[in-house]
Amino acid sequence: MVWDFNSLKQMIETVYAVLVSKAETPLRMCKHCGKAFYATHGRSEFCDTKCRNQYNVYKFRAKEKQ
């Protein structure tokens, strides 16, 4: 199978569509920053540990103020 693309945009859109439709590597949105990432584990909610830690700090500080 040979894929022939006329532009980089067309290639990115096609690859994105293929990856989104695959069940093995789900593409998810980070709960903190909103970036798209590949969920390596079924319960992944954040793109990396930095986002997870920042989210938890902000959540803790908001709870502490109340």
Would 59 be classed as within a structural domain? yes
Distance CA 50, CA 42 (A): 19
Q: 41: buried, middle or exposed (CB in 10 Å: 19+, 13-18, 0-12)?
A: exposed
With a cut of 90, say whether residue 54 has pLDDT above it. Answer: yes
Domain boundaries, position 44? 20-65
- Number of independent structural domains in the chain: 1
Would 29 be classed as within a structural domain? yes
| Residue 34 DSSP class | -
Would 14 be classed as within a structural domain? no
With a cut of 60, say whether residue 1 has pLDDT above it. Answer: no
Stronger pLDDT, 25 or 37, i.e. the higher one: 37
Confidence of residue 44 (pLDDT cuts 50, 70, 90): very high
> Looking at residues 31-50, what average pLDDT do you find?
89
Would 24 be classed as within a structural domain? yes
Listed residue (51, 53, 58, 1) closest to 28, CA to CA = 51
pTM: 0.59
Q: What does the pLDDT look like over 17-34, one tens digit per residue? A: 877 776 666 778 899 999
In degrees and rounded to multiples of 5, residue 42 shows phi and psi of: -65, -25
Distance CA 54, CA 47 (A): 12
